[in-house]
Structure 1
Amino acid sequence: MYELVQAVLDSDEKTALRQLISELYSSGRQYFLQNEILQAFEDYCHKFQKPAYFYHSSTIGELIHYTHEILLEEESVWFLFRPRIASQEVCKLAADLTSVEPMTPQALLDLRDRLVNRYQPQILEIDLGPFYEPSPTIRDPRNIGKGLEFLNRYLSSKLFADPQHWLEALFKFLHEHKHNSIPLLVNDRIHSATQLSQQVKQALRVVGNLPANEPYEKFRFQLQELGFEPGWGNTASRVRETLELLDRLIDTPDHAVNEAFISRIPLTFHVVLVSVHGWVGQEGVLGRAETAGQVAYVLDQAYSLDKKLHEDIKLAGLDLLGIQPQVIILTRLIPNCEGTLCNQRIEKVQGTENTWILRVPFAEFNPKVTQNWISKFEIWPYLETFALDAERELLAKFGGRPDLIIGNYSDGNLVASLLARRLKVTHCNIAHSLEKSKYLFSDLYWQDLEEQYHFSLQFSADLISMNAADFIITSSYHEIMGTPDTTGQYESYKCFTMPQLYHVVNGIELFSPKFNVVPPGVNEKSFFPYSQTEDRVPDDQQRVYELLFTREDRQILGHLENLDKRPIFALAPLKSVKNFTGLVECFGQSQELQERCHLILVTGKLHSSEATNLEEKGEIERLHELVNQYHLEHKMRWLGMRLTSRDLGEAYRVIADCQGIFVHPARFEAFGVTILEAMLSGLPTFATQFGGSLEIIQHGENGFHINPTNLEETATKILEFIRQCEINPQYWQKISEQAIKRVREKYNWQLHTNRLLLLTKIYSFWNYASQDNREAMLRYLEALFYLMYKPRAEKLLEQHRQR
């Protein structure tokens, strides 16, 4: 980018750059983001009557389109460029454009501090980069999020290049593997990798002479004499296939064979899913509005894991030993549980063989707070003690250590990292959504936001847990790296400042193979296509139809005069980022939309007196203002209530019966499970172009992208679809069927769980066999926890005690 800047300065376009910068200075502002920069350049081109090509095709136009930030000082202008995904460059120009020089990330962070008048010359710098240097890294940004594929190829290349070392490591890994002191796979009769190779061939001769369906227990002791314990398969054919894969891996290493073999090995029996701050339960509660999606995800994931683990145990022949896999959802016990079961220590997950919700109370050193639900922004002081207490409970419940700990959200991942460190087990990080990306300048102005959000604790916890994790699961590529025009959630942790607290010059290695895109599925018991009539309950259908369209209730606003219009359906908690006010304003401003459609909103609340925070209160009040301003009382319905999963699934289907559409108007959405639910139900879906939905929906094929900040354009896209449906009655059906197909093929829990367990096995072997010294990084992260995180958590605890 330095060369591009220099090219502008050496050309006639230098005058245009000087004039543009002068326009920025005249605004009186110092900080400009990408959309503001593009708008300023467009305004400049219009003001100075530049030809049409100048905005897009000139050298300065190219430079501006790569620019993500411009920062103005009295004597200099700083440009932050993002020439491609996963790459940032900084240049400083003299204000008179006489010179340009590249700048370091440290210099940029100092500048940002100066611009908010919070600069201090000596400040803690956090740099995780050196700890990733010994590890293999991905080179091509397009392969970020494909860590499993990369690591498989890397491992097979190592096996090929240094077979003795890696085969010995594989032998030891198999030999040492046990479950609760029960030896599995390889016993003491085999002493080396060389002998393992020989014995595999002998074992293959034994099982090759047996009928394919011969049960393992009939030839178990023959294999045991050769050095093989249970775990290879439940029949002769299954054992033969697994041993053949090992034989091929030993003789001719290949990444596909490596993956196939590792996937067969029974390594995972006990799994912990950590979800701390939500109301985690099954009856009468499914999280709070802010965590309902997370809790549904965890319950669905647990159900799928339970099913898959039991299948794998049976296929491996381990049911012969009475081995029972177990999944535990670890959450907090809430004494004042508001009529739910969240005050019960243990609860069986319905429909599973051996999955439980284990609730551990927060230590009773502050009962006025800990007896009640605690917001995700306030929970930080209690997590370390919770982790220690949970460790004892888990060891007792499992009768030993778990094999995998999965953290959910920032608080759950911090607890997971503490548990995994103490128990020395594999840690998977699932953020779901990182708050840093949701709140503009939340790092730069953290001190102003600290009383309400405590971002110093959350961002520190994120840095600790995401780097401590053995692997990270994201729902989309966008979550890691964003797009060519937008920064990804994890990418936002790469380099940032929290003035007067610390600078992060390298907070996460985005090219690390620890990142894996593994999208979730949908609970197909609750959410299935509207056309699947044999699974629908007519009474539910009628009741939910009346709820959406006709029922009178204190928690429902609006009375529809004409029920024949096409419904527009939207569902979300009342948060500003969900942008329901934008959707209502879009509907209110379009007379044609009002003539052709009804708007039906489902939120958790209807009255401002029900709000639990200022943001929620503001959203409710603004929605009421818009309803009155555009006289929408007879053109929309607003349900201020929480629907059960069963009713919500039927709500999507009832809207589909009416050939309606689903709109997700969020300003940003990390992924959007409701998008999957609506699509699987058969609803043509219009979803924000800002976030993971870009990867869910293929525009025009199985749904549509909208820019929710452009209300007129959003209305136009919806109306274009409706007109197409009127011209071609099969068009709605076509998009509906393609939406169902998209979700079924790519977003299902079976795919997710198979991938998750394979990741666990591959990363467990990698950590065992590699020469990387993760201990140094973990010690560094411990220092951050005890010297940065913990003192601030104790300070927050003191505030809680004074309430």
Structure 2
Amino acid sequence: MQELVQTVLNSDEKNALRQLISSLGATGKQYLLRNEILQVFADYCQKSHKPAYFFHSSALGNLINFTHEIIIEEESTWFLLRPWIASQEVWRLGADMTHFEKMTPQALLDVRDRLVNRSQPQILEIDLKPFYQGSPDIDDPRNIGQGLAFLNHYLCHQLQYDPAHWLEELFKVLHRLQYSGVPLMISDRLKSGAELAEAVHQAIHLVREKPPSEPFEKFRFDLQALGFEPGWGNTAERVRETLELFDRLIDSPEPPVLEAFVSRVPAIFRVVLVSVHGWVGQEGVLGRPETAGQVMYVLEQARSLESRLREDITLAGLDSIGIHPKVIILTRLIPNCEGTACNLRLEKIQGSENAWILRVPFLDTNPPITQNWISKFEIWPYLESFALEAERELIAEFQGNPNLIIGNYSDGNLVAFLIARRLKVTHCSIAHSLEKPKYLFSNLYWQDLEDKYHFSAQFTADLISMNAADFIISSSYQEIVGTPDSIGQYESYKCFTMPELYHVVDGIDLFNPKFNMVPPGVNENLFFPYNQEENRDREARAKIHELLFTQVDSQIVGNLADPTKRPIFAVAPINFIKNLTGLAEFFGKNKELQERCNLILLTSKFTPEQATHPEEAAEIERLHEIIDRYELHNHIRWLGIRLSTLDLGEAYRTVADCRGIFIHYALFEAFGRTLLEAMISGLPTFATQFGGASEVIDDSENVFHLNPTDSEGTAKKVLRFLDECDANPQYWHEISTKVIERVRNKYNWTLHSKQLLLIAKIYRFWDYVTPENREARLRYLETLYYLVFKPRAEKILEQHRQR
């Protein structure tokens, strides 16, 4: 960047930079973000009659293209530059325009504090960078999120570089394997890696003489005489394949061989999925807007993991000795459960053999609060005692420790950290959606938002859990590091200020191999293509069609003048981020779209009285107002009705019957569960370009990615699609087929579970061989927990007691 900056300062473009800064200052803002900077620069180029290339290709144009923030002070202008994805640099331009100097992150954080008049000379600095030094790092930003592949290559390189040492490490890992005290894979007969390698050769010779389908039990004692225990396979052929994979790994270590061998190692039997704050149940609770996506995710993940574990254990030959997997979703028990099953301690998960929902109550220190549902923004004071009680309950249910704990969302990840730390269990973190990047400047103005959102507790909890986790699962690349034009969710935790509380100088190592992209799937028993007629119920189909298009109900707005028009379908909770009001207003402003389509909105709430917080109530009121203002009653159907998942699946298919489309118009979407549901149902799907949703939809021709802040551009894309459908009736079917195949090939729970379990096994091995750096980091995070997080949580508890 130094060369680019000097080019600007040493050329005629220096004057253009001065004029641009003057134009930025004329906006009346001191803190400008990327979109605002680009707009002001575009306006400057137009007013100054700059040639077309100047905006894109001049030295100043390149500099501005790398700029994500500008802060204007009296004596300085500060630039946050992003030369490439996941890399940020701070530069300061003096008022005399003579020099541009690179500054430290600490200097930028001080400037941000001064901007809001909350600067102080001494403040706590949080810096996690030293705890990642010495650990292997990914060097190419394009490979961020592919930690498993990186570690496979790294470990294989180590095996080649020092094979004797790493053979001993592999021996130690296999020797530790056991289930409730029962040794697996190898016994105490084998004393070293060298002995193991020799025994493997003998065992391969032994099983080659057996019929391929001969059950393991028939030659079990022959293998035990060589030092081998159950776990290598259920038949002679399976045992031979596993032994040969290990032999190849020692002789010629290659990533595919390591991955194939590790996938067969029986190391995980008991899994905990932590999802605390939501209404976690199977009936009557999935429609709660704040938790609907998360609940469906963990339920489907639990079923899929349990099924995969059963298959793996059977193939390993362990079911014959009485070993069976168990998966538990850990959540809170809600005494005042509002007619749901959320007051039941234990509930078996439908469609599973041994997967359960375990509900543990919060301590009754404040019954008016703890006996009711608690918002994700208010839950923080109760998590530590919950974790301690849940630990006891889990050990009792499993009759031993779990092997893997998966945290979900900020609160679930903090609980996962507390339990995993005490039990020394592999910890996986899944954020789903981090709140910090959703709310603009939420960290900078945290004190103004504290009573409503308690971000000081949440952002601290996020920092702790994402750094404590052995590995992090994201649904998309953008979730980690964004795009060239936008900062990723995890990247937003890299460097930020909480004025008068702390500065985060380096909050997360984005190049660490702990990050892995493992997208979720969709339940094809509930959500399947509209043209699978054999799986559809005629009566349910007729009922849903009437509900969507003609039924009169007190919870439905709109009486369509022409129900045969092509429907535009949207399913989302009503909140500012999901932007249903923006979609309705976009539709209301576009008369051509109204002439050709009807808009159908499906939410679970309809009146402000049903809202759980003021923001939700305001959005509901605004949606009613937009419908009235644009006189949409004959063009829109707004259903404030909570549908069962079965009916929701049929709703997608019913819209597809009518050759409709699905629009997800959120201002930001981390991933978008409804996108998968709509696409697998066969609906051509448009979605926001901001966030991971743009990765779900393959849009090489730039048709289906929408900018929700650009209603004119959105209208052009949707109308162009409709024109193509009218000109070529097969076009809708072509797109429908493509989106169905995309979900089936890339977003399915079988792939998800297979990959997640493989990652857990690799990282478990990694922790065995590199424990020292991790322990130092965990000690540091414990300090943050007790000295920063707990005082913030206790302040929330004090507020609750005063209610």
| TM range, smaller chain | over 0.9
Say which SS state the counterpart of residue 754 (structure 1) adopts.
helix
User: For residue 730 of structure 2, what is the aligned residue in structure 1?
Assistant: 730
User: For residue 439 of structure 1, what is the aligned residue in structure 2?
Assistant: 439
Specify the code of the residue in structure 1 equivalent to 2:768.
Answer: Y
For 2:477 and 2:681, the matched residues in 1 are separated by 25
For 2:508 and 2:334, the matched residues in 1 are separated by 34
Q: Give 1:399 shift.
A: 0.4
Matched-pair contact (CA < 8 Å) for 2:526–2:649: yes
For 1:784 and 1:386, the matched residues in 2 are separated by 19
Listed one character per residue, the Cα deviations across residues 365-385 of structure 1 (whole Å, up to 9, x for unaligned) are: 111100000000000000000
For 1:461 and 1:685, the matched residues in 2 are separated by 35
Structure 1 stretches (4+) deviating beyond 6 angstroms?
A: none
Q: How does 1:4-403 map to 2 (within 5 A)?
A: 4-286=4-286, 288-403=288-403
Q: How does 1:373-522 map to 2 (within 5 A)?
A: 373-522=373-522
TM-score w.r.t. length of structure 1: 0.99
User: For residue 695 of structure 1, what is the aligned residue in structure 2?
Assistant: 695
Matched-pair contact (CA < 8 Å) for 2:125–2:505: yes
User: For residue 598 of structure 1, what is the aligned residue in structure 2?
Assistant: 598
Indicate whether 1:654 and 2:658 are aligned: no
Matched-pair contact (CA < 8 Å) for 2:497–2:503: yes
Distance 1:130 1:75, change over 3 A: same
Matched-pair contact (CA < 8 Å) for 2:272–2:328: yes
Say which SS state the counterpart of residue 330 (structure 1) adopts.
strand
For 1:368 and 1:314, the matched residues in 2 are separated by 48
Say which SS state the counterpart of residue 323 (structure 2) adopts.
coil
Matched-pair contact (CA < 8 Å) for 1:18–1:96: no
Indicate whether 1:630 and 2:630 are aligned: yes
Specify the code of the residue in structure 2 equivalent to 1:131.
Answer: F
Q: Give 1:783 shift.
A: 0.2
Say which SS state the counterpart of residue 219 (structure 1) adopts.
helix
Matched-pair contact (CA < 8 Å) for 2:288–2:604: no
Specify the code of the residue in structure 1 equivalent to 2:107.
Answer: A
For 2:394 and 2:23, the matched residues in 1 are separated by 62
Q: How does 1:468-617 map to 2 (within 5 A)?
A: 468-617=468-617
Say which SS state the counterpart of residue 513 (structure 1) adopts.
coil
Matched-pair contact (CA < 8 Å) for 1:305–1:327: yes
Q: Give 1:2 shift.
A: 2.5
Listed one character per residue, the Cα deviations across residues 97-135 of structure 1 (whole Å, up to 9, x for unaligned) are: 122211000000000000000000100000000000121
Specify the code of the residue in structure 1 equivalent to 2:694.
Answer: L
For 2:773 and 2:13, the matched residues in 1 are separated by 52
Listed one character per residue, the Cα deviations across residues 394-434 of structure 1 (whole Å, up to 9, x for unaligned) are: 00000000000000000000000000000001000000000
Matched-pair contact (CA < 8 Å) for 2:287–2:604: no
For 2:381 and 2:472, the matched residues in 1 are separated by 25
Matched-pair contact (CA < 8 Å) for 2:129–2:507: yes
For 2:387 and 2:332, the matched residues in 1 are separated by 10
Listed one character per residue, the Cα deviations across residues 218-265 of structure 1 (whole Å, up to 9, x for unaligned) are: 000000011000000000000000000111112222222111111111
Question: Structure 1: which 5+ residue stretches go unaligned?
Answer: none
For 1:612 and 1:784, the matched residues in 2 are separated by 31
Greater mean deviation of Cα atoms: 770-779 or 680-689? 770-779
Greater mean deviation of Cα atoms: 37-46 or 734-743? 37-46
Matched-pair contact (CA < 8 Å) for 1:701–1:738: no
User: For residue 785 of structure 2, what is the aligned residue in structure 1?
Assistant: 785
Q: Give 1:701 shift.
A: 7.0
Say which SS state the counterpart of residue 594 (structure 1) adopts.
helix
User: For residue 745 of structure 1, what is the aligned residue in structure 2?
Assistant: 745
For 1:700 and 1:3, the matched residues in 2 are separated by 34
Say which SS state the counterpart of residue 343 (structure 1) adopts.
coil
For 2:773 and 2:591, the matched residues in 1 are separated by 64
Q: Give 1:585 shift.
A: 1.1
Q: Give 1:770 shift.
A: 2.6
For 2:278 and 2:609, the matched residues in 1 are separated by 22
Matched-pair contact (CA < 8 Å) for 1:575–1:616: yes
Q: Give 1:700 shift.
A: 5.8
Specify the code of the residue in structure 2 equivalent to 1:736.
Answer: S
For 1:173 and 1:81, the matched residues in 2 are separated by 44
Specify the code of the residue in structure 2 equivalent to 1:407.
Answer: G
Q: Give 1:3 shift.
A: 2.1
For 1:550 and 1:153, the matched residues in 2 are separated by 59
For 1:421 and 1:666, the matched residues in 2 are separated by 37
For 1:396 and 1:306, the matched residues in 2 are separated by 19
For 1:426 and 1:609, the matched residues in 2 are separated by 43
Specify the code of the residue in structure 1 equivalent to 2:417.
Answer: S
Matched-pair contact (CA < 8 Å) for 2:269–2:326: yes
For 2:401 and 2:534, the matched residues in 1 are separated by 44
Greater mean deviation of Cα atoms: 608-617 or 695-704? 695-704
For 2:700 and 2:478, the matched residues in 1 are separated by 20
Matched-pair contact (CA < 8 Å) for 2:555–2:640: yes
Listed one character per residue, the Cα deviations across residues 34-70 of structure 1 (whole Å, up to 9, x for unaligned) are: 0000111111112222222222222111111111111
Listed one character per residue, the Cα deviations across residues 628-648 of structure 1 (whole Å, up to 9, x for unaligned) are: 111100111000111111111
Matched-pair contact (CA < 8 Å) for 1:405–1:428: yes
For 1:567 and 1:173, the matched residues in 2 are separated by 57
For 1:690 and 1:87, the matched residues in 2 are separated by 19
Q: Give 1:720 shift.
A: 0.6
Specify the code of the residue in structure 1 equivalent to 2:179.
Answer: H
Q: Give 1:6 shift.
A: 1.5
Q: Give 1:702 shift.
A: 11
TM-score w.r.t. length of structure 2: 0.99
For 2:190 and 2:288, the matched residues in 1 are separated by 54
User: For residue 643 of structure 2, what is the aligned residue in structure 1?
Assistant: 643
Say which SS state the counterpart of residue 577 (structure 2) adopts.
helix
For 2:351 and 2:63, the matched residues in 1 are separated by 57
For 2:502 and 2:778, the matched residues in 1 are separated by 19
Identity %: 68
For 2:131 and 2:530, the matched residues in 1 are separated by 51
Matched-pair contact (CA < 8 Å) for 2:332–2:362: yes
For 1:636 and 1:26, the matched residues in 2 are separated by 42
Greater mean deviation of Cα atoms: 49-58 or 297-306? 49-58
User: For residue 663 of structure 1, what is the aligned residue in structure 2?
Assistant: 663
Q: Give 1:287 shift.
A: 6.0
Indicate whether 1:686 and 2:686 are aligned: yes
Say which SS state the counterpart of residue 237 (structure 1) adopts.
helix
For 1:580 and 1:176, the matched residues in 2 are separated by 53
Q: Give 1:703 shift.
A: 6.9
Matched-pair contact (CA < 8 Å) for 1:530–1:654: yes
For 1:23 and 1:478, the matched residues in 2 are separated by 32
Specify the code of the residue in structure 1 equivalent to 2:469.
Answer: A
For 1:664 and 1:187, the matched residues in 2 are separated by 55
